[in-house]
Amino acid sequence: MALAIGVDIGGTKVAAGVVDDAGRVLDRERRDTPGHDVTETESIIVDVVRTLADRSDVDVVGIGAAGWIANDHATVLFSPHLAWRNEPLRDSLAERIKLPLIVENDANAAAWAEYRFGAARGQKVVVCVTLGTGIGGGLVIDGSVYRGAYGLACEYGHMTIVPDGRRCACGNLGCLEMYASGRALARDARELAAESPAAAAQMLELAGSVEGLTGPVVTAAAAGGDPAAQSICTTMGRWLGRGLANLAAVIDPSMFVLGGGVSEAGDILLRPAREEFAHSLTGRGFRPVAAVELVQLGPDAGLIGAADLARRYA
């Protein structure tokens, strides 16, 4: 049984696990992401890999990073939520990890995991949308991850959904990420708390302060029945559905799979997303409608996919 380590690096956490060739996570570690410090982020990656490798006999390492990964499976060209800019991440880590490794976009890794082991097994064209601090995307076509000419494909979160809308961390205005991500949930909750503390009272009690209103707090409050949090999640779901309809017009997938921490809101997010997707779909009524499902592998999808891709390419 070939074992690999998969590492999923997001805007707030570094999650790592030992994964077997059936996609099962046998051991795991987790750390916070020091997003504005390249050296410290790389040290944390090395630490989790060494910790896991000391406990298991592993062959390869796959790094799933939130950012634009060049087709060399080595270089992070840019990351809106982390400090990497044209960073030779694979070479920097290889000197310290001493195992074969690859670097892949985290959403590509999640899409691959769902295609291989999860909700999208057997699907012809799979679009994966990861809803975390930001929005990532992956695309699997006929059993291959589609990466584009330069490795930069499927940045769905940075397609314009509102012309001249809110400014995004990527530098543009009106990106989908500004309306349908964990960051968007937190912003909307804080704005509500500032304008109407009474309406946001349940969320504030859960968070402890306005500054404590994060995406996970909003989704937890919504799951607990808080009407204000549910309204915020519903609005986000509608924005997401419009984004999916735009993607369907270009890609025509057989399935969308939604992952990332925000997807843990479940039906509170999924129902309005499906409704808006069906309402906004071009050619509706005269074409097959892609399924919109939650990932089966949950928050492990990114690290499972990174590990499995490392077996193929490292």
Give the burial class of 87: count Cβ atoms within 10 A of its Cβ; 0-12 exposed, 13-18 middle, 19 or more buried.
buried
Print pLDDT tens along the chain (314 aa). Answer: 689 999 998 777 899 999 999 999 999 999 988 867 788 889 999 999 999 999 999 999 999 988 889 999 899 998 876 778 999 999 999 989 999 999 999 889 999 999 999 999 999 999 999 898 889 899 999 999 999 999 889 999 999 999 999 999 888 999 999 999 999 999 999 999 999 999 999 999 999 999 999 999 999 999 999 999 999 999 999 999 999 999 999 999 999 999 888 888 889 999 999 999 999 999 999 999 999 999 999 889 999 999 999 999 87
Give the DSSP letter of residue 268.
Answer: H
Buried b (16+ CB within 10 A) or exposed e, 111-141: bbbbbbbbbbeebebbbbbbbbbbbbbbbbe
Strands 255-259 and 125-131: parallel
pLDDT at 39: 86
Taken in order of first residue, the domains within the chain and their CATH numbers are 4-112+300-313 (3.30.420.40), 122-295 (3.30.420.40)
Q: What is the pLDDT of residue 208?
A: 94
* Predicted pLDDT at 23: 97
Q: Comparing C-alpha atoms, which of 68, 149, 49 is closest to residue 107? A: 68
d(CA 83, CA 35): 6
User: What pLDDT sits at residue 261?
Assistant: 80
Q: Write down the pTM of the prediction.
A: 0.88
- Asked if residue 151 lies in contact with residue 71, where contact means CB atoms within 8 angstroms, the answer is yes
pLDDT computed for residue 110 by the predictor: 92
**Whether 50 contacts 61, CB under 8 Å:** no
Per-residue model confidence (pLDDT) at position 1: 66
pLDDT for the residue numbered 283: 94
Are the beta carbons of 284 and 31 closer than 8 angstroms? no
pLDDT of residue 82: 76
Instruction: State residue 278's pLDDT score.
Output: 96
Name the token pair of 87.
């960073």
Specify the pLDDT at position 2: 87
Contact (CB, 8 A) for 161 and 177: no
Q: Where are the alpha helices (DSSP H) in the chain?
A: 38-55, 89-97, 106-117, 182-195, 201-207, 215-223, 227-251, 267-280, 301-313
Residue 180: φ, ψ to 5°: -145, 55
